[in-house]
Amino acid sequence: MKMLQIPSPLHRLKLEQKGDDISTWVKRDDLIHQQISGNKWRKLVYPLKEITNDGSAGVITYGGAFSNHIVATAIACQALRIPCVGIIRGDESLSAANPSLSAAREGGMKLHFVDRDSYRHKQDAPAVQNIIDQYPGYAVIAEGGRHRLALRGVSEIISEVDTDLVRRPDYILVAVGTGTTFAGISQAYSGTLIGINVLKNKGVEQEIVALLEIDQLPVGHSIQHDFHFGGYAKYSAELITFMHDFYQGSGIKTDVVYTAKLFYAYQELRQSDFFQPGSSVVIYHSGGIQGNAGMNHRFPGLIRF
């Protein structure tokens, strides 16, 4: 696919704070593509290849009204000439005009809206099944790109990091939503992997081990649950201030839902002496910047970059 920056760059991050002997790098998957950003492309690339090869008629997937996954799937399918359908959680009259769904429509995705209860019970809900029945031969990709082949795409992050660094980092930090990205990295990396839970979902470890088909997380791999700011897409004035200050100091944009919480968590962990002196850290920037337009649609002027 054209216009994809693969492999993505690894940038040194210099921070003037306690622990200056720690080497910090940012894996810039936010630069892969403006709309098929970061881990969304990583998770989609092999499922979409399989769908193309096995002759499926198209793709059906799920997401909320401001879903990065919905936008990424629409744009990727458009580039690959795969028809696609999005089943969207919520009331069409309240959400259809937002920037994320407008981008998905412009990418050729057909959108169907279902109420929140039907969406929550999508495996059994007649409203959801009726939509799927309208598209025979379409392959289904789960919400957030959760798929057995998604792990393969995500694991390639580690081989790219290995190419750029003399030795593997001692720590990798990653934002955790569905847990698919964490699981893919976990398969390929044996150092200390720290997931920053952004959903206030303490059951995410079980979801990750189920995806990996193991009994428990590998030694040294863990989830931090103290930086979700109240849950999915929740935030505080402190987090918004941090986003803007971090951008001014580093030139790196973050998003409210995932990566602002990730970099904030790194700052807090570093100040609390979480990392061993002299160690190296890679922070995985999973993209999602397009989602800021949706946040500003809901809360005008919230994000100023």
Q: Answer yes or no: do 141 and 185 share one domain.
A: no
pLDDT tens digit at each of 305 positions of the chain? 667 899 999 999 987 565 568 999 999 999 999 888 789 999 999 999 999 999 999 999 999 999 999 999 999 999 999 999 999 999 888 676 789 999 999 999 999 999 999 999 999 999 999 999 999 999 999 999 999 999 999 999 999 999 999 999 999 999 999 999 999 999 999 999 999 999 988 899 999 999 999 999 999 999 999 999 999 889 999 999 999 999 999 999 999 999 999 999 999 999 999 999 999 999 999 999 988 998 998 899 999 99
Same structural domain for residues 31 and 174? yes
Residue 303 belongs to some domain of the structure: no
Residues 192 and 96 occupy one common structural domain: no
| pLDDT of the residue at 37 | 77
Shared domain for 72 and 161, answered yes or no, is: no
CA distance 155 to 157: 5
The reply to whether 3 falls in a domain is: no
Q: Please give the DSSP secondary-structure letter assigned to residue 114.
A: E
Domain-located, residue 159: yes
Pairwise CA distance, residues 252 & 170, whole Å:
23
28 and 102, same domain (yes or no): no
Let me know whether 224 and 87 are in one domain.
no
* Locus of tokens 């000439």: 81
Angle subtended at Cα 50 by Cα 38 and Cα 154, rounded to the nearest 5 degrees: 30
Residue 7 burial (C-beta neighbours within 10 Å; 0-12, 13-18, 19+): middle
> According to the model, what pLDDT value does residue 1 have?
60
Residues 87 and 235 in one domain: no
Residue 305 placed within a domain? no
Domain match, 119 and 239 both: no
Q: State which residues form the domain around 134.
A: 39-145
Instruction: Give the domain-ending residue among 124, 145, 166.
Output: 145
CB-side exposure of 146: number of CA atoms within 13 Å?
A: 18
Residue that terminates a domain, selected from 145, 180, 196: 145
Whether 1 is in a domain gets the answer no
Domain boundary among the residues 79, 111, 145 is at 145
285 and 182 within one domain: yes
Instruction: Say if 47 falls within a structural domain.
Output: yes
Q: Does residue 216 form part of some domain?
A: yes
Residues 185 and 291 in one domain: yes
Q: Are residues 289 and 276 in the same domain?
A: yes
240 and 204 belong to one structural domain: yes
| Number of domains observed in the structure of the chain | 2
CATH code, 64: 3.40.50.1100
pLDDT of residue 38: 86
Sign of torsion, CA 44 32 73 67? positive
Measured between alpha carbons, how far is residue 210 from residues 114, 177, 205, 213, 297 in Å?
28, 15, 9, 5, 36
Residue 168 lies in a domain: yes
CB 153 within 8 A of CB 178: no
Nearest to 284 by CA among 167, 166, 178, 155: 155
